[in-house]
Structure 1
Amino acid sequence: MLHSMSTTVEIASDRSADEVNEEIRALWRRAGGTLSVEQREEYQRLVMEWAKAAPQTVKAA
């Protein structure tokens, strides 16, 4: 029996943008400036989480 995998990314975070940003910075420090394939996937997930947590600003027209 084959099972299909979802290709959508679920991002559920109760963390603030600052907390996620710190994790992104720590990932880069651990990686020494060059991310492996797995680390890039983690980075992408974190950036999406950060974007969801970051305050949205509304610009006047």
Structure 2
Amino acid sequence: MLHVSARADAALGLANAPVQSHWSFQKPSEPAMPDVRDGAWPRSEVDRFLLAKLEAAATSD
């Protein structure tokens, strides 16, 4: 099984990829909060992301 995995890594170009560049080794960062038109609607930070998408979808129609 190991030899198959090694061949797959080589075929995908992963054999010599630096491990530290993988997303799981990156320091977490706070995402920028999106601007929304109705600032009273969001109850949480997640709501701000949802409302921003809803507002963007409403203006694209």
TM norm structure 2: 0.29
By relative contact order (CA 8 Å, sep 6+), the higher-ranking structure is 1
TM norm structure 1: 0.29
Q: Flag the structure with larger Rg.
A: 2
